A and B are shown apart, each in its own frame.
Chain A
């Protein structure tokens, strides 16, 4: 039973520049000498902070990106994947966090995508017959003729699993499969995983949720900052020990708190609806205060932020900024008045990736810095170098392209962009997503420093520890509305926040 079927040794991966050339010399490896192995019939949990390299490692295994150093042995054979198809035919199924099904096709068509049976015309009846059998064998009650877009996320995930199993996969990679599932659906998923195990399929399971790990896992591997920390048997699982492995230091050093909120109100939202049928939202943010916005993905937190920022339509409600009713909202007006929004999607909405660090940092304050529309390279250089110093951005210089920076440094560039625009209220949407632990602590320190300087902070976060430790007040959102306001930092617990999100 305990044959090792997959072994990945000394895997390293450099960050690539825009031309696909590894950036050697700078010490930016996203994976550094990582070891990972999978045995027959086991559920192997892969765990690590955001940016620890879990996804990268799995992408290498899935043939999506090549590794630069190291070796992969699958069933004792040395392999090197150059595309996902190869890895699939070798028996590796990959269920991505973002499901990749064709929404406009039905279940059977998705299952048989690229391998339709029949000669000239596809053998529809046969396909549906086979699909039904595949689905029922794993205990799924889904009609193969249902268009995938009508299925819930959980059901879509099931289709993905069936698809992976149908390829005769021996190893199935699941990247945070439970992120958007309900408890009942999670239980079902676990049943399936156990079922697969009995049928001789191993699972690599990426997750953050400690509670579920013990229930499902056989072994656990921890990655940290792109490096391999260790593998333990689940029988030796101990909460504190694993946290220690993940973080590499005690968590109490992560957060600082130098700021004290004042009573002066900066922003007040009254009765804003983010969709026609949701409950109206009323919130307030004060000077020098860090207000946390908690809730599950899809609870409407980003929508709220974007509605306030005026880049998304909202319904009814009033917004008061520094005591005055705001009539028209758009980014340009807000930035002039000091309200800014750091987006959740750093690569798409936060940064102009092909532009230099310098260009990105000054982008939001062009009008303030150069009132007569003439760029002054000296001013730009001064601002960007001071931001690079202040935020400790690791780079070769202000001319380096933002695309070539690591996640944490990219986030610092976005922060630098907003800091140089002199914010009075900063909305941060998942400020530490995809950021390594070291940079995370630095970002917390920056946020705390801003609040201490009197900047009002509204921080949307899915990471409960960060939400609890950073916030002076927490609004929890559920189904597009605020379900609770928690005002006493001493009573913040993960359990309480969670209770309001569900």
Chain B
């Protein structure tokens, strides 16, 4: 008996794993061409970059906040790194560094508004998001930058075996943030802060610092995602990412079991959430679902998955 109990406990804690397993099993049985090494590699590649963004979002959601500027930060960092490496001819490492610093500053601004001025996160990041979109379009005149330098592209597009370097970079971020969230005192304090702000503050957790840090992390990870996406599509666009991307990332985070009320969430959950989303997408493509149907079907599946998870949680 104790063995089965361990399993049920594992699944109730990691609902996203159950969802993903079900999805993969069903897809393998019923969808042609799904069960193939190449297809799995494709799904992993598609999941790599959103996973990085989703980790940041998960951290913010865990404080009970939200980062709606995430998608627009991707656009701004894409055009920023593109302009720097191509138009201004700045060296690749320095361009990337400047872009990441830009992300950190945006995050700092978000965090400052939320923590110090007490503007609700929803409003703060919504506003910041539009500012970022505006800035991205102003500095680029609304135009994309194509044909980025080969050396820049190589960072993300080189293949190691079946997989892109992007997948490994993403894996690296996952490991680092797994440590941060689950094995460090910062992660513990973050979780306590999300579950009970007053209790954690009175217990000496650096709540203000945590609340600002998560926004910085979220924006920096969005910058990373923006840079990697530009490599992936060989194009820097001010409209890359955007609101749609933000909501996909939030969806993935929720699929991954993060609580919108704060406190509960995990890095594996975030990653599995993204993969689930990509598996669903993949199946919709393989099944030749008409394009206009695609997003409706996606929505239904997501709702079902979340209802399923909630029902499990409530038992």
Could you list which residues of chain A lie within 8 angstroms of chain B, going by C-beta atoms?
A: 19-20, 309, 311, 331-332, 334-336, 341, 343, 348-355, 359, 362-364, 366-367, 370, 373-375, 417, 421
Contacts and interface: CB of A to CB of B under 8 A. Distances in A.
Interface stretch (B21-29, B98-106, B128-136, B194-202): B194-202
A370 B185 contact: yes
A331 B195 contact: no
A472 B196 CA distance: 35
Contacts of B184: 373-375
Contacts of A364: 203-204
Contact of B314 (A19, A350, A362, A375): A19
Nearest to A341: B202
A351 B202 CA distance: 10
Nearest to B263: A354
A359 B194 CA distance: 14
A367 B201 CA distance: 14
B188 A366 contact: yes
Looking at A19, A334, A363, A375, the one whose CB has the most chain B CB atoms below 10 A away is A363
B183 A375 contact: yes
B192 A19 contact: no
A359 B185 contact: no
B76 interface: no
A352 B201 contact: no
A332 B195 contact: no
Contact of B195 (A311, A349, A353): A353
A359 B188 CA distance: 8
B78 interface: no
Q: What are the 6 A-B residue pairs with the smallest beta carbon separation, nearest first? A: A335-B204, A364-B203, A366-B185, A349-B198, A332-B204, A352-B196
Nearest to B179: A374
B204 A359 contact: no
A191 B34 CA distance: 80
Nearest to B182: A375
16 contacts: A19-B314, A331-B203, A332-B206, A335-B204, A343-B202, A349-B198, A350-B202, A364-B203, A364-B204, A366-B185, A366-B189, A366-B205, A367-B185, A373-B185, A374-B184, A375-B187
A363 B201 CA distance: 10
A349 B314 CA distance: 25
A362 to B, nearest CB: 8
Contacts of A354: 195, 263-264
Given A335-B204, A343-B202, A355 B195 contact: yes
A350 B199 CA distance: 5
Contacts of B202: 309, 311, 331, 341, 343, 349-350
Contacts of B206: 332
B192 A363 contact: yes
B186 interface: yes
B3 interface: no
A19 B315 CA distance: 6
Given A19-B314, A417-B203, A352 B195 contact: yes
A349 B206 CA distance: 15
A174 to B, nearest CB: 30
B230 interface: no
Contact of A331 (B187, B201, B264, B315): B201
B218 interface: no
Contacts of A353: 195-196
B196 A351 contact: yes
B315 A351 contact: no
Nearest to A309: B202
